Structures are given as structure tokens and as C-alpha cells.
Structure 1
Amino acid sequence: MLDLGWTELLLIGIVALIVVGPQELPMMFRTLGKFTARLRAMARDFTRAMEDAADEAGVKDIAKDLKKATNPKEMGMDALKDAVDFDEIDPFGENDDAESKPKSTASAPETQPLSEERAEAARKIRESTAAKATARLEAEAAARAEADTQSAPEPSPAPDADPSKA
């Protein structure tokens, strides 16, 4: 709203007292009060009309759904409720007949294909790693052998031998 301090209001009051006069000043303040009351009433009616229009358009329902979707606690509980139906579980084993057993195993994830896929992936990784390690060891051995042949001194002729006879 307006940012008027006490000093500004005092200055406006003094100027109004001088310009309007002391006899008409109360009537002017009363008129100003009625005017501000009308403005506030109009603003309140406008706000109420906008809220009613938003309610008719379903904005509150959308906002509530959006809050529910972004609430991690509620989302986790919904997933838990979907995963397990607690009404069908008998924790004390009082009803052991087949009809009373939980049906959650039918909707349980299939772990056997996943474990087979993981085992196959692990086998491929091991084979690839072994092949690369073997290739690296062979390359290191070849490099060592080459370095050994280059660093070995050439055999010098025997001291007894005459270079001119050769």
C-alpha cells in the first residue's frame, strides 16, 4: 500500500487544516473515510468474485491434486498401499486356508528373469575383462621382450680372432 510515515501524515494534516479550514476538516475526513471504505468493499467483492470463478473452473481441485502429487510422503504411502493390501494379510496365521492367503504374490515383480539377466551381464563383463587383461599382459610381455633385445649389447669379436681373416 502507500508508504506514509507519521511525519508525512502530520504534514498532510497541517496542509489540509490550512487549505480546507478547521470547520470543514471533520467533514472532509468523514468523506475520505467513506471513500476508502467503498474502495475496500470493491476490492473485497472483486477478490470474492475471482475466488468464485476459480472454484467454478476447478482450480482448487487441481491445486489440491497438484499438492498431493508433489507431497513425497503421500506419494510413498500411495505406492505402499498399491503394493500391499494390508486387509488381506493375517499376521497371526489364524486363517490358514488358501482363500485367506494374501494375493500380493500375483502382483509381485518377477525376479527370476531379472536375476538371469544380471547373471548373463556379469558373465559378459567377466569375459570381457579377462580378454582385455590377457591382451594387456601379452602387450606388456612383448614390450618387455623388445626392450630386452634392444638393451642387450651386441657380442664383440673374440680377442684371439684376427679381423682381417674374417
Structure 2
Amino acid sequence: MFDLGGSELLVIGVVALIVVGPKDLPGLFRTVGNFVGKAKGMAREFSRAMDQAADEAGVKDVTAGLKAAANPTQFGLDKVKDAAGDLTDWSAGDKPLDDDRADAARKIQDATAKKAQARLDAEAAAKDPAPADTPDAPAAEQPPAEDKA
């Protein structure tokens, strides 16, 4: 708290020797030492009281929970990663699919392939639009003419 070096303590000692006198100086230092000791004791007691209040409020439990959450091995994320890895490596195994399921899977794969190809074609068309005079390009729609009669 206070940053007192050797030179500051020497100045304080000389001033105390001049003001108090050589006879009463040991008593003064004893009194100051007792005061400093009492102040340190009060600080320790205050610190213990604050720690005890924190224990009663459950702050240490919350701190331990946060530290456990910050450590993935204690939190169990390694087990979740292992389980997710098992799911990505899953295959049907040796058992072949029955005919109905195989047809359904084939239909899904075909539909997905068609949609993907249509999306790729649409992206290619958006990047490189066809000129208007080619027969492949759709004719621009014009709004219907209104009768002004």
C-alpha cells in the first residue's frame, strides 16, 4: 500500500528522534509497532470474513462450475465428439436394403441429382446470360396493351 524506501524511513527516524527525543523513542516505536500489528490483524479478520461470506453465498461453487465448463475434458465434450464421430462413420454394414427401401433411396438420389443439376444450370445461366436473338432465349414478356377507346 505505502511504498517506503530506505531513504524515507531514515528521514522519518531522524524527524522522530528530533521531535520525540532519544529517551521516549523506543516507547514510540513500540506503540507504532502495536498499532501496525493491530491494523494487520484487522485486515486479516476482514479478509477471512469476506471469504466466509463468499462461501456461504455459494460463490466458490459457481467458480468451480465455471472452471469445469471452461475445461472441455471435465465437461464431457470429448465424449460428445466421439459419439458424433461414430455417427459420421455409420454405414448400412453387411445387411443389404430390402427392395422397397432400395427403390426409395434410388428415387431420393435421382431427385437430389436433378435438383442439383437444375441449380447448377441456373447459376451458369445467371453468370452468362444468352443473347436475346438466339432461339434458346425466352422472349421478353410485354405488358398487355390497354384499350384507349
TM-score bracket for this pair, using the shorter chain length: 0.5 to 0.7
CA 18–73 in structure 1, closer or farther in 2 if over 3 Å, else same: same
What root-mean-square deviation, in Å, do the aligned CA atoms of Structure 1 and Structure 2 show?
3.3
Counterpart residue number, 1:133: 124
**Deviating 4+ runs (over 6 angstroms):** 119-122
Q: Which runs of 5+ in 1 are unaligned?
A: 85-103, 146-166
Q: Which whole-Å CA distance do the structure 2 matches of 1:135 and 1:39 have between them?
A: 81
CA 133–18 in structure 1, closer or farther in 2 if over 3 Å, else same: same
What amino acid is the match of 1:79? L
Counterpart residue number, 1:38: 38
CA 135–48 in structure 1, closer or farther in 2 if over 3 Å, else same: closer
Secondary structure, in 3 states, of the residue corresponding to 1:39?
A: helix
Structure 1 or 2, whichever has the larger Rg, is 1
Counterpart residue number, 1:153: none
Deviation of 1:13 (Å): 0.3
Matches within 5 A, 1:18-97: 18-75=18-75, 78-81=76-79
Q: Which whole-Å CA distance do the structure 2 matches of 1:122 and 1:25 have between them?
A: 99
Deviation of 1:138 (Å): 5.7
CA contact (8 A) 2:16 2:25 kept: yes
Q: Which whole-Å CA distance do the structure 2 matches of 1:132 and 1:83 have between them?
A: 36
Matches within 5 A, 1:119-130: 124-130=115-121
Deviation of 1:83 (Å): 7.3
Segment drifting more, 125-134 vs 51-60:
125-134
Secondary structure, in 3 states, of the residue corresponding to 2:66?
A: helix
TM-score by length of 2: 0.62
Deviation of 1:123 (Å): 5.1
Q: Which whole-Å CA distance do the structure 1 matches of 2:81 and 2:61 have between them?
A: 26
1:74-131 residue CA offsets vs partner (Å, 9 max, x unmatched) = 33xx1344677xxxxxxxxxxxxxxxxxxx8xxx75979xxx8xx6777534311213
CA contact (8 A) 2:54 2:60 kept: yes
Matches within 5 A, 1:140-159: 142=131
Q: Which runs of 5+ in 2 are unaligned?
A: 92-104, 135-149
CA 48–144 in structure 1, closer or farther in 2 if over 3 Å, else same: same
Q: Which whole-Å CA distance do the structure 1 matches of 2:12 and 2:126 have between them?
A: 93
Q: Which whole-Å CA distance do the structure 1 matches of 2:22 and 2:39 have between them?
A: 26
Secondary structure, in 3 states, of the residue corresponding to 1:23?
A: coil
Overall identity of the aligned pairs, in %: 46
